[in-house]
């Protein structure tokens, strides 16, 4: 059994914690990022043929804006696809990868001539997906539907577990969460505590912000999704 720090926004962290417990691990939930939905704006859906979903929070944010569930959802990975099904969307496709994988899959799923693609995005979203699809002739309409604020210092559960040496690993699901983790650990003067930890990262981009800290081991999931990350944990 390992004691694992989960740093995701709360709803996602609770799901991950349940999966860790099912594998026999102990989860410490300490969100470094939050989710704040932008509920005041109207969505213009005329001419939209499908929704691009690069996060579960994007799906949830879109679902808060409209009761329509007749759009196909083109999802970046399995967790995002499941969030779409949970929200009531019946036509959901899963690229099971990153932005490049989703862009490639979209080209086989839908035609540019059938209408625009609406990307339900957060304020911190990169423009990579829109750029790739625009180059391929698609009209991409990006709607910023939520913000992802970060904490200024380690949550109490994370601070205590790092201080008492009870943690074995930390899961990092994005480059931003890794940046916030590194900054908060350094601010708290707990850099030495990382020497006891395995940092399990969803991608090379998520591992990069950890370069100023020394870990027992840094592992990168072979595929950028939660299932692969948990397999990488062991």
Q: What is the DSSP letter of 43?
A: P
Neighbours of 227 (CB within 10 A): 14
- Taking alpha carbons only, the member of 32, 39, 1 closest to residue 187 is 32
Q: What is the model's pLDDT at position 157?
A: 97
pLDDT at 234: 85
Tens digit of each residue's pLDDT (9 = 90 or more) over 27-46: 999 999 999 999 877 898 99
What local confidence, expressed as pLDDT, does residue 38 receive? 94
| 65 and 45 Cβ atoms separated by less than 8 Å | no
Tens-place pLDDT, residues 200-229: 999 999 999 999 999 999 999 998 889 999
Looking at residue 174, its pLDDT comes to 92
Q: Which residues, including other chains, have CB under 8 Å from residue 181's CB and lie 6 or more apart?
A: 7, 32, 170, 172, 209, 210
What pLDDT sits at residue 61? 96
pLDDT at position 167 is: 98
Domains and CATH numbers, the chain: 3-33+152-233 (3.40.50.10090), 36-147 (3.40.50.10090)
**C-alpha 210 chain-centroid distance:** 18
On whether the CB atoms of residues 32 and 56 are closer than 8 A, the answer is no
- Distance, C-alpha 59 to centroid of its chain: 12
**Number of C-beta neighbours around residue 63 at 10 A:** 21
Per-10-residue mean pLDDT of the chain, 234 residues long, equals 96 95 97 93 92 96 96 95 97 94 97 98 89 97 96 98 97 96 98 98 96 97 91 92
pLDDT at 52: 98
CA–CA separation, 47 vs 40, rounded Å?
A: 22
Looking at residue 15, what is its pLDDT? 92
């Amino acid at each position: 059994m390992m004691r694992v720090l989960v740093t995701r926004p709360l709803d996602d962290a609770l799901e991950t914690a349940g999966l860790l417990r099912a594998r026999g691990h102990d989860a410490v939930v300490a969100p470094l990022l939050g989710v704040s939905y932008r509920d005041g704006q109207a969505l213009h859906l005329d001419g939209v043929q499908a929704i691009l979903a690069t996060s579960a929070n994007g799906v949830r944010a879109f679902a808060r804006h409209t009761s329509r569930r007749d759009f196909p959802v083109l999802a970046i990975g399995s967790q995002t696809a499941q969030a779409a099904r949970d929200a009531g969307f019946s036509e959901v496709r899963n690229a099971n990868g990153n932005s490049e994988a989703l862009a490639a899959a979209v080209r086989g799923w839908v035609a540019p001539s059938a209408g625009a693609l609406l990307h339900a995005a957060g304020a911190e979203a990169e423009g990579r997906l829109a750029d790739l699809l625009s180059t391929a002739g698609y009209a991409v309409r990006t709607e910023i539907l939520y913000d992802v604020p970060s904490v200024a210092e380690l949550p109490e559960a994370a601070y205590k577990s790092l201080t008492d040496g009870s943690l074995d690993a930390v899961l990092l699901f994005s480059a931003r969460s890794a940046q916030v983790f590194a900054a908060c650990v350094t601010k708290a003067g707990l850099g030495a505590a990382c020497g006891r930890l395995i940092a399990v990262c969803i991608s090379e981009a998520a591992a990069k912000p950890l370069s100023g800290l020394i870990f027992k081991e840094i592992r990168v999931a072979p595929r950028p999704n939660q299932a692969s990350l948990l397999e990488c944990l062991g």
